[in-house]
């Protein structure tokens, strides 16, 4: 920056850049991505342009940037250039950083773990982070003394989580239900603190299905709430999945000012295989078994895994993989049933409806496309999002909105989700023929090329409450002002 490029003044290309006569400082870019189709809905950009990066920020988006002005230039002609993909709902906490590599490999530059205390997240982040920006929500259910915990206990846990560096709270009601009263108090306490609050729907009165969606207006009062993975409550437990999805989006539409939501495009879900007292602890796991006519017990779960309906999730070769059949049963029994699991229970009809539904003002009702992936091998937001583009269900602009601009806004990340001058240099380059991300840049650093993850470092996204703790722990942190988030605006 600001160096005098006297020796280059005679190049005809460089001369065009001289707007003031004589010697002027010419911008030198650290990295230029040239010739890609830049799709940046926030700035109304959809054109073949060069993107110049300096010091981790977007410095120029122009029709042509001379190679002489770039320390490094990468030709991305024929590719689509998105603002970096923000996955607003993943799980990376467990698995020694495997989830970071799995998400970076598909172009994710920012992610939020929906259910991991900061103390549990940091070891894996230190060991395995790959240059991304990472936030985490505290899974409050795990730490409450009972299903009907009182306000003072909830306040202590929420304040502790924020001081530790969490962005906010996740209520994992669908798996481990709390009473409606306690659930409503958690939402209220989080709103009082103006921290992030996400809810996997379901209480002791309802469950992780359409009844859980119908319960939201009763729980929310005049508060704000992030409704997690709207598609997942539409698996046909109450009525036809497509009808469930239509009702779920209409409930969200009516709560438009108070809720933000996301849906994912994967076929499999994510749950726990852990059993206690002869039954799976997770109510979602019980639901999955009931859906296919299995008994919601240890015996039923063993049979479902043996039959290849349920899969346990284990790490192999630096990735998490799904294993079913007798091998899956052996792995599951070897650790006393305590393994994450997946079932192929998501309805394609409900997935399509939740991903594409719009309101009267032609805005998406479900704000974002997430994955609920990370360490769960279903990081398909770009791949299946591009399939929706090819199908004609979304435009490229709309996909960029749903995987980057909107989730950045949901989290109040004003310098992410777009490629305006001064924005963070987070970029996802997509091959439109293959329909997959082929390059990712985070904070100006190339973190993935051709599916191979090459980044390191990264930073933790926190609130002003958590900065000092993370700084003391020598962890790079940046504070977000959630008053700026779509959740609270």
* Binding site residues, Zn ion, CB under 5 A: 114, 372
| Residue 178 structure tokens | 């709390």
Bridge pairing between strands 445-449 and 436-442: antiparallel
Pure H helices in 325-412: 325-334, 348-356, 381-391, 396-400, 406-410
| Residue 415 structure tokens | 């310098």
Query: What is the closest distance, in whole angstroms, from the C-beta atom of residue 200 to Zn ion in the complex?
Result: 6
Q: Which is nearer to Zn ion, 100 or 114 (CB)?
A: 114
Which DSSP state fits 278?
T
Which DSSP state fits 401?
I
Q: Which of 322, 344, 347 is nearest to 332 (CA)?
A: 322
Query: What is the closest distance, in whole angstroms, from the C-beta atom of residue 333 to Zn ion in the complex?
Result: 25
| Residue 48 structure tokens | 């073949």
| Residue 29 structure tokens | 């870019």
Q: Which is nearer to Zn ion, 82 or 196 (CB)?
A: 196
Q: Which is nearer to Zn ion, 240 or 338 (CB)?
A: 338
Query: What is the closest distance, in whole angstroms, from the C-beta atom of residue 114 to Zn ion in the complex?
Result: 4
Distance CA 282, CA 373 (A): 18
Scan for tokens 């936030």, then name that residue: 135
Q: Which of 261, 193, 187 is nearest to 466 (CA)?
A: 193
Bridge pairing between strands 130-139 and 45-54: unpaired
Q: Which is nearer to Zn ion, 89 or 101 (CB)?
A: 89
Query: What is the closest distance, in whole angstroms, from the C-beta atom of residue 89 to Zn ion in the complex?
Result: 6
Q: Which is nearer to Zn ion, 42 or 342 (CB)?
A: 342
Query: What is the closest distance, in whole angstroms, from the C-beta atom of residue 60 to Zn ion in the complex?
Result: 38
Could you tell me the sign of the dihedral formed by the alpha carbons of 312, 134, 476, 319, in that order?
A: positive
Q: Which is nearer to Zn ion, 35 or 270 (CB)?
A: 270
Query: What is the closest distance, in whole angstroms, from the C-beta atom of residue 102 to Zn ion in the complex?
Result: 15
Distance CA 358, CA 404 (A): 18
Query: What is the closest distance, in whole angstroms, from the C-beta atom of residue 116 to Zn ion in the complex?
Result: 10
Q: Which is nearer to Zn ion, 26 or 172 (CB)?
A: 172
Which DSSP state fits 208?
S
Query: What is the closest distance, in whole angstroms, from the C-beta atom of residue 173 to Zn ion in the complex?
Result: 12
Chain CA centroid to CA 222, Å = 26
Which DSSP state fits 318?
T
Q: Which is nearer to Zn ion, 107 or 173 (CB)?
A: 173
Residue 268 has phi, psi (to 5 degrees) of: -90, 155
Bridge pairing between strands 45-54 and 31-40: antiparallel
Helix (H) / strand (E) containing 341: strand 340-342
Query: What is the closest distance, in whole angstroms, from the C-beta atom of residue 374 to Zn ion in the complex?
Result: 9
Q: Which is nearer to Zn ion, 300 or 373 (CB)?
A: 373
């Amino acid at each position: 920056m600001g160096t005098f490029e006297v020796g280059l003044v005679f190049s005809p290309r460089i001369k065009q850049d001289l707007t003031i006569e004589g010697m002027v400082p010419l911008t030198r870019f650290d990295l230029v991505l040239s010739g890609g189709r830049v799709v940046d809905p926030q700035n109304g950009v959809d054109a073949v342009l060069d993107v110049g990066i300096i010091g981790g920020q977007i410095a120029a988006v122009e029709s042509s940037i001379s190679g002489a002005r770039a320390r490094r230039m990468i030709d991305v002609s024929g590719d689509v250039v998105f603002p970096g993909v923000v996955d607003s709902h993943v799980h990376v906490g467990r698995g020694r950083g495997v989830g970071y590599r799995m998400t970076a490999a598909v172009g994710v530059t920012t992610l939020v773990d929906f259910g991991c205390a900061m103390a549990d997240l940091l070891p894996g982040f230190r060991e395995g982070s790959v240059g991304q920006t990472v936030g985490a929500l505290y899974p409050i259910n795990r730490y409450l003394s009972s299903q009907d915990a009182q306000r003072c206990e909830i306040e202590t846990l929420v304040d502790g989580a924020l001081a530790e560096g969490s962005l906010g709270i996740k209520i994992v009601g669908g798996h481990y239900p709390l009473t409606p009263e306690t659930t409503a108090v958690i939402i209220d306490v989080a709103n009082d603190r103006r921290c992030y609050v996400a809810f996997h729907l379901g209480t002791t009165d309802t469950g992780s299905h359409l009844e859980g969606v119908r319960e939201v207006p009763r729980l929310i009062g005049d508060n704000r709430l992030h409704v997690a993975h709207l598609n997942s409550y539409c698996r046909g437990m109450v009525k036809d999945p497509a009808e469930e999805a239509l009702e779920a989006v209409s409930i969200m539409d009516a709560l438009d000012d108070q809720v933000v939501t996301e849906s994912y495009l994967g076929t499999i879900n994510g749950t726990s295989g852990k059993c206690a007292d002869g039954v799976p602890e997770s109510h979602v796991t019980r639901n999955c078994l009931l859906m296919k006519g299995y008994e919601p017990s240890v015996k039923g779960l063993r049979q479902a895994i043996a039959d290849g309906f349920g899969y346990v999730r284990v790490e192999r070769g630096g990735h998490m993989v799904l294993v079913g059949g007798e091998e899956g049963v052996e792995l599951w029994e070897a650790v006393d049933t305590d393994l994450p699991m997946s079932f192929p229970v998501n309805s394609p009809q409900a997935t399509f409806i939740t991903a594409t539904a719009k309101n009267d003002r032609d805005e998406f009702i479900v704000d974002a496309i997430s994955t609920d992936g990370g360490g769960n091998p279903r990081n398909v937001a770009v791949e299946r999002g591009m399939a929706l583009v090819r199908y004609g269900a979304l435009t490229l602009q709309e996909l960029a909105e749903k995987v980057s601009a909107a989730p950045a806004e949901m989290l109040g990340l004003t310098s992410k989700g777009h490629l305006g001058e001064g924005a963070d240099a987070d970029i996802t380059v997509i091959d439109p023929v293959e329909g997959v991300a082929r390059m990712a840049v985070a904070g100006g650093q190339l973190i993935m090329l051709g599916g191979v993850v090459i980044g390191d470092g990264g930073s933790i996204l926190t609130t002003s409450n958590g900065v000092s703790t993370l700084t003391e722990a020598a962890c790079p942190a940046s504070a977000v002002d959630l008053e700026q988030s779509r959740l609270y605006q």
